[in-house]
Structure 1
Amino acid sequence: MPLQGNALLALITCLTATGFLLIGYDNGVFGGVINGTGFQKTFSNPSPGLLGTIVAIYEIGCFAGSIMTAFIGDRLGRRKTILLGAVIMLAGAGFQAGVSSAGAMIAARIVAGIGMGAINSTCPILMAEVSPKASRGRYVAAQLSTLNLGIFLAYWVGYGFTNYVTGSIQWRIPVVLQSVFIIVIIVLCLAIPESPRWDLSHGNNERALETLALLNARPSTDSLVLEQYQAIDEAVQLERSVGAGTWAGFFSWKDDELKSKRRLFIACFLQAAQQLGGINGIIYYAGTLLKTTGLNDHNASLVSGILFTWFFIASFIPWFLIDRVGRRPLLLVCISLMSCTFAAQAGLIWKVETTGSKAAGAAATAVLFLYMGLFTTGFQAVVWVYPSEILPLQMRSKGSSISTAANWICNFAIVEMTPSAVANIGYKFYIIFAILNALWVPVIYFLCPETVGLALEEVDFLFASSRIRKADLPKDDLNYLELDNGVLHDFKLDTAVDEV
């Protein structure tokens, strides 16, 4: 018999969690080995500019993979898109581990990035589409804990190999180890069903009903399963009736009555803002940044590992907050404090640069720990669940891919410029991110409504025109649909369900 209920949900969670683990490991692995003698010797002591390109070009591949997924992801489905990305990435991992020149490494990282773009665009959608609405945020937060676990593993593996192994295997083995996670993804993709929401939107009605029954561990004739099926089907019909999610609508000047383009803009803004806030400058170059606090190479590498151990531990905080406090409060509070930490960091690094103060260096190191805790509690936790929640079903694959592409291209810009910026402008590097994070707060306050506790089909009505709110729902089904300070209060549909 096929897996049902919590067992099936656990299997899907393992798949998406391994996808996020791979994201974290691949993001962190080069930060742990680029300063090692093995890597430096293999690539003839690359300049900061070339080093930045070798590391950052991966993001260009991820950007390309995300754009590719915008065109093919909705045709293939969630499961096959992740599978395709894993196969491409497996080839890229072997390619990276075998090269010995900068040009070949750049090409290999682009290939791996294309695969990652497909995985990264699709895993959050799959998880959002099968998770219970009351705990959807927690499920995605769990994925982010595995992402941070990947970064943690990458740094400690890099630390061990760069300090206790010599030669090119110092970096080749850490790079090829990602293949273990990729193979797990491939195996799990072959074992899970397709998302019932994708099936319903593509006419696979019987398979969608069967999957809903499996997820609930109930017969397909059960009233709860039929209510879920009906709610998703009604959302599909409504979105089609207003033209939501079509390429024609995407390129038109006028938005549809479900505000699909506005919702896509919010998704793209949050993904871009996360990267332009500076996080991957720290993740990729933690060792480099820690050396500016006065640490030597070995201690900087050791503290990097401790920093990302803390990053992993702190990622459990949003498990208990995101579905209780809500998405908006976590974003607004944590990003405000992140801006303050960058401002403090600029002052402390200025003190180190001008006086060599060890106390200022120690404080600057502590501030990095504070920043990483704030980031994973607020921005990191929300940015991967919120876009998948607010995008309409007909646009979910395209929109998630485009917003993820925005994340990766901004990631590229930050990772490319960080080595040169740290070398040339010193403490002013942190002032840039203090200002940018402060700018995100009012945008989020005015543009991002609360989605906590809503079924994905209910989110349409956060953005729907008044005509749809009043005319397209039976009067008895609609209690109220009023937004107050970004929160939809007392929203209820009789067809809404407690699960999935």
Structure 2
Amino acid sequence: MVLQGQKIYHNALIAGGLAFVTFGWDAGVLGGILLTPEFQGAMELIEHPSTTVVSMITSVFLLASWLGCIIVSCFGMFIGRRAWIILGCATQIVGTIISASSYGYGQLIAGRVLIGIGNGFCTSMVPIFVAEMAIITSKRGQGVNAMIGFASLGTAFAYWVDFGMVFAHNTQAVWRFPVAFQIVWSALTILFLYWSPDTPRYLYAKDQVAEGDALLERLYEKALDEPVVIQAKKDILASLELERTATAGLRIRDFFWDTSDMQAARRIRTGVILVGVAYLMGIDMIFYYTTTIFQVYIGLAPLTASGLAGACTTILAITNFTGVVFMEKLGRRTWLIAGAVGQTIFIAAFTGLLSSPGHATGAAAAAMLFCWIAIFGPTWGPVTYVYASEIMPLRYRHIGFALSVSSQWLMAFLTVFAGPIAIADTNVGWKTWIWFLVFNAIAGPYIYYCCPETRGRSLEEIDLIFMSERLQDTAAAKQLEHDLVPEASVGDTESGNESAVPEKGA
């Protein structure tokens, strides 16, 4: 079966979505089984309870995901986007088999290391794969946004499966079945990717021009000499030419103040900070320990806590997909700034209520948590991925986006490992949430001052936002300006260019 036209993009969406269901499944599945007697017995936590061991079981996946991203950033161009995703899924399947058969936390941790490395491969490459397959600019943000929607759907599925398994007492299936089921999502991802080609931008970047030409013809379902196909090819080649004529390499100093022609280091730095801040807001702390938060810190009954945990993840999935529908109605900056303001209000209320324990304040705190999740769902959850995948230059896209996602996993590891230990400390307790409040509060100003708008531009046109004045009169730059009109945007203080940023015409 040879896919043609939009079927190629839709197949990429399905495959990428399934890969992100796997990511979400892992975030949800442990959160619902950590407190079950069957899991704690198998992991020897009943006889020897240890907050540190529990934190390591949950968070080692995040640290391993960071390692997977670093591997991709170093070797991402050696094999294609598609191949990295397949390799990631295969690695996850091996790790899941080891995890589901564990009779001790050492084996479980080893399995979760493999799952994490595979997840790092997938989360580094899936958004790039989906974005580069989108030939309709207005659909690109929705497609990448949908990946986070699928991740939250996976989390919701996992929590509801955990909730159902609560009723299966005195059997190891309570936790082994949910953990093992992750294999299904990885296997389905590989199945759908079997029918997908790699992306045309990757092929051109590797100087596989004939293959790139053939794939563009398949994507557009038009001959190579058709105007729309010619324009797409010229734009990609012009972008590559600009990157090759720009200041050579990535210089360390440019990551602090970038004066290069295409500002590749600044773009990578922006993605790293943006995604890192999103995961210092508390989302992983919330979803890895949702049941524990409701049961231990808020004081709800186990069954109620498990049901509310499932409801939380369901709300995240619903709001993620709501964001997909309305993604292109507002600019990236608008989504992120509005989200930061709303999240700050609700996390502040949540933190304040936790400082005064009680049944009434506990219920109110749960409500604030629901509201925070509902705002994070369509804003900082997916839009950071969309933005980071868009702003990276083609030659360094695998490096920039992999490093951006690696910052997510590193920050998530920090919060998931250290968070429970801090909360368990009577001298810290509820004050731990002030840490997350700070990052919710600083996020809005960072977007306002440091992140220019990218909505409505092709991946190649985004280069025009960051290029130096020296390159603006080159033939390659003029090629990318073929259908652009001026529109005011954020000043580019590092390049010294505060002129209007081109925006694609309606």
**What TM-score comes out, normalization by structure 1 length?**
0.93
Q: Is the 8 A contact 2:250 2:264 kept in 1?
A: no
Residue 281 (structure 2) aligns with: 277
Residue 398 (structure 1) aligns with: 399
Does residue 361 (structure 1) correspond to residue 362 (structure 2)? The answer is yes
Does residue 296 (structure 1) correspond to residue 305 (structure 2)? The answer is no
Question: Matched residues in 2 for 1:235 and 1:221: separation?
Answer: 20
- For the residue of structure 2 that corresponds to 1:437, the secondary structure is helix
- For the residue of structure 2 that corresponds to 1:164, the secondary structure is coil
Q: Is the 8 A contact 2:124 2:402 kept in 1?
A: yes
Taking only the aligned residue pairs, the percentage that are identical comes to: 30
Q: Give 1:317's aligned amino acid.
A: T
Q: Is the 8 A contact 2:85 2:125 kept in 1?
A: yes
Question: Matched residues in 1 for 2:352 and 2:257: separation?
Answer: 46
Q: Is the 8 A contact 1:477 1:492 kept in 2?
A: no
Alpha carbons of structure 1 residues 300 and 462: separation in structure 2 relative to 1, 3 Å: same
1:474 to partner: Cα distance = 3.9
Residue 38 (structure 1) aligns with: 38
Match of 2:502 among 461, 482, 491: 491
1:445 to partner: Cα distance = 1.0
Question: Matched residues in 2 for 1:408 and 1:187: separation?
Answer: 27
Residue 375 (structure 1) aligns with: 376
Residue 343 (structure 2) aligns with: 338
Bigger proportion of residues as helix: 1
Residue 267 (structure 2) aligns with: 263
Residue deviations 1:177-224, cap 9 Å, x none? Answer: 010011111122221011000000111111111111211122233221
The Cα RMSD (Å) is: 2.2
Residue deviations 1:120-173, cap 9 Å, x none? Answer: 100000111111211211112222221111000010111111332433221111
Question: Matched residues in 2 for 1:465 and 1:490: separation?
Answer: 12
The worse-fitting range, judged by mean Cα deviation, of 475-484 and 17-26 is 475-484
Q: Give 1:402's aligned amino acid.
A: L
The worse-fitting range, judged by mean Cα deviation, of 166-175 and 423-432 is 423-432
Count of aligned residue pairs for this structure pair = 491
Residue 310 (structure 1) aligns with: 315
- For the residue of structure 1 that corresponds to 2:55, the secondary structure is helix
The worse-fitting range, judged by mean Cα deviation, of 464-473 and 367-376 is 464-473
The worse-fitting range, judged by mean Cα deviation, of 258-267 and 212-221 is 212-221
Alpha carbons of structure 1 residues 490 and 72: separation in structure 2 relative to 1, 3 Å: closer
Q: Give 1:305's aligned amino acid.
A: G
Q: Is the 8 A contact 2:254 2:260 kept in 1?
A: no
Q: Is the 8 A contact 2:488 2:501 kept in 1?
A: no
Match of 2:353 among 329, 348, 352: 348
Question: Matched residues in 2 for 1:345 and 1:407: separation?
Answer: 23
1:66 to partner: Cα distance = 0.6
Q: Is the 8 A contact 1:245 1:394 kept in 2?
A: no
Residue 114 (structure 1) aligns with: 117
Question: Matched residues in 2 for 1:105 and 1:437: separation?
Answer: 33
Residue deviations 1:257-299, cap 9 Å, x none? Answer: 1100000000000111011111100010001111222202221
Q: Is the 8 A contact 2:69 2:405 kept in 1?
A: yes
Q: Give 1:9's aligned amino acid.
A: Y
Where do 1:74-473 residues align within 5 Å? 74-131=77-134, 132-243=136-247, 255-291=259-295, 292-351=297-356, 353=357, 356=358, 358-424=359-425, 425-472=428-475, 473=477
Q: Give 1:162's aligned amino acid.
A: V
Alpha carbons of structure 1 residues 165 and 244: separation in structure 2 relative to 1, 3 Å: farther
Alpha carbons of structure 1 residues 200 and 249: separation in structure 2 relative to 1, 3 Å: farther
Question: Matched residues in 2 for 1:62 and 1:167: separation?
Answer: 30
Question: Matched residues in 1 for 2:269 and 2:447: separation?
Answer: 12
Question: Matched residues in 2 for 1:453 and 1:309: separation?
Answer: 30
Alpha carbons of structure 1 residues 243 and 2: separation in structure 2 relative to 1, 3 Å: farther
Question: Matched residues in 1 for 2:260 and 2:323: separation?
Answer: 34
1:455 to partner: Cα distance = 0.3
Alpha carbons of structure 1 residues 334 and 244: separation in structure 2 relative to 1, 3 Å: farther
1:313 to partner: Cα distance = 1.2
Does residue 68 (structure 1) correspond to residue 45 (structure 2)? The answer is no
Alpha carbons of structure 1 residues 18 and 478: separation in structure 2 relative to 1, 3 Å: closer
Q: Is the 8 A contact 1:6 1:215 kept in 2?
A: yes
Structure 1, unaligned runs of 5 or more: none
1:19 to partner: Cα distance = 1.1
Q: Is the 8 A contact 2:465 2:502 kept in 1?
A: no
The worse-fitting range, judged by mean Cα deviation, of 462-471 and 328-337 is 462-471
Q: Is the 8 A contact 2:2 2:195 kept in 1?
A: no
Q: Give 2:37's aligned amino acid.
A: T
Alpha carbons of structure 1 residues 205 and 122: separation in structure 2 relative to 1, 3 Å: same
1:320 to partner: Cα distance = 3.2
Residue 495 (structure 2) aligns with: none
- For the residue of structure 2 that corresponds to 1:427, the secondary structure is helix
Q: Give 1:182's aligned amino acid.
A: S
1:478 to partner: Cα distance = 8.1
Residue 496 (structure 2) aligns with: none
Question: Matched residues in 1 for 2:381 and 2:256: separation?
Answer: 32
Question: Matched residues in 2 for 1:250 and 1:208: separation?
Answer: 32
Question: Matched residues in 1 for 2:177 and 2:218: separation?
Answer: 40
Question: Matched residues in 2 for 1:375 and 1:492: separation?
Answer: 27
Q: Is the 8 A contact 1:161 1:170 kept in 2?
A: yes
**What TM-score comes out, normalization by structure 2 length?**
0.92
Structure 2, unaligned runs of 5 or more: 493-498
- For the residue of structure 2 that corresponds to 1:163, the secondary structure is coil
Question: Matched residues in 1 for 2:87 and 2:439: separation?
Answer: 36
Residue 58 (structure 2) aligns with: 55
- For the residue of structure 1 that corresponds to 2:382, the secondary structure is helix
- For the residue of structure 2 that corresponds to 1:491, the secondary structure is strand
Question: Matched residues in 1 for 2:345 and 2:252: separation?
Answer: 43
Residue deviations 1:379-435, cap 9 Å, x none? Answer: 012111111100000000011111111111111001101222222233212222111
The worse-fitting range, judged by mean Cα deviation, of 259-268 and 362-371 is 362-371
Question: Matched residues in 2 for 1:26 and 1:457: separation?
Answer: 35
Alpha carbons of structure 1 residues 451 and 492: separation in structure 2 relative to 1, 3 Å: closer
Alpha carbons of structure 1 residues 490 and 411: separation in structure 2 relative to 1, 3 Å: closer
Q: Is the 8 A contact 2:255 2:269 kept in 1?
A: no
